[in-house]
Amino acid sequence: MPKVIICKTDDEVAKKAAAIFAKQIRSKPDSVLGFATGSTPEKTYAELARLHKTEGLDFSKVRTFNLDEYWGLDGDHNQSYRYFMNDRLFKHINIKPWNTFVLDGTAVNPMLECKAFETKILAVGGVDIWLLGIGNNGHIAFNEPGSPVDSRTRLVSLTQSTIDANSDGRFFKNPADVPRCALSAGIGTVREARKIVLLATGSKKADAIAAALEGPFTPDCPASLLQDHKDCTFILDSAAASKLKKKY
Ligand code: GLP
């Protein structure tokens, strides 16, 4: 079962998560890191940027892979996940742009794009740590409920719940503006990471977190499919942990 760390605030969640990544980079400077987008990891990226600036945390040999990208958006679109990563993290650290891999939402052949992504992960020896968020419905990356445990990187459709959550003004202003499809690493792809760190903050995530940790192992809650991972840690704030019944 995942290890669970409950923090008082989302600032504390970000500090803990960034410390895990910093330790990884210091012990293996050419680490392969998996990253996520969304509001939840923003403070973690700000903390990593701070560690780079103030303590010289060195990203010069690090390679990164992102979980997903909206289908149809190019990397210059301000809601694309490539734009998000450049804006929140990459431009603030000394990572080499050619070592950052974000699926291309405008690829002519999505199947080839997804295959190339998986091949690239294998070519660099697999992902050392993958940072994840969680959707209100328990999705991880854009693996919506029903996604198989062995799913690979592919073109997927988004559920209305995810479209609505991402058009509440934080990102898109209007549900009609949200792409209906995305390229997403599969659950099988993510589960192959040697270590997984899932972050959740805020009460909107409380049901999904309870289902992921204390419900059955089922594709109905994609994050529950991490229950049997050998090295998975959930870092939660007290609001996201508020519906857990067990003591951690
Ligand atoms: C999107 C992303 C997920 C992310 C989720 C939650 O759907 N594809 O990777 O975990 O949103 O985002 P937030 O952190 O903004 O709640």
- What is the per-residue pLDDT across 145-174, written as a single tens digit (0 to 9) for each? 999 999 999 999 999 999 999 999 899 999
- pLDDT band at 119; cut points 50, 70, 90: very high
- pLDDT band at 220; cut points 50, 70, 90: very high
Q: Are 62 and 31 in contact (CB under 8 A)?
A: yes
Query: Which of 73, 79, 139 is the best mutation target for the ligand 1 pocket, counting ligand atoms within 8 Å of the beta carbon and taking the most?
Result: 139
> Looking at 144, 166, 229, 237, which residue is catalytic?
144
- What is the per-residue pLDDT across 12-52, written as a single tens digit (0 to 9) for each? 999 999 999 999 999 999 999 999 999 999 999 999 999 99
Catalytic residue status for 144 = yes
Class of domain 3-237: alpha beta
> Looking at 99, 137, 143, 166, which residue is catalytic?
137
DSSP string, 60-115: TT-EEEESEEETT--TTSTTSHHHHHHHHTGGGS---GGGEE---TT-S-HHHHHH
- What is the per-residue pLDDT across 81-104, written as a single tens digit (0 to 9) for each? 999 999 999 999 999 999 999 999
Strands (E), the chain: 3-7, 32-35, 63-66, 68-70, 100-101, 129-132, 154-157, 181-184, 195-200, 232-237
- What is the per-residue pLDDT across 221-244, written as a single tens digit (0 to 9) for each? 999 999 999 999 999 999 999 999
For the chain, what are the domain ranges? Answer: 3-237
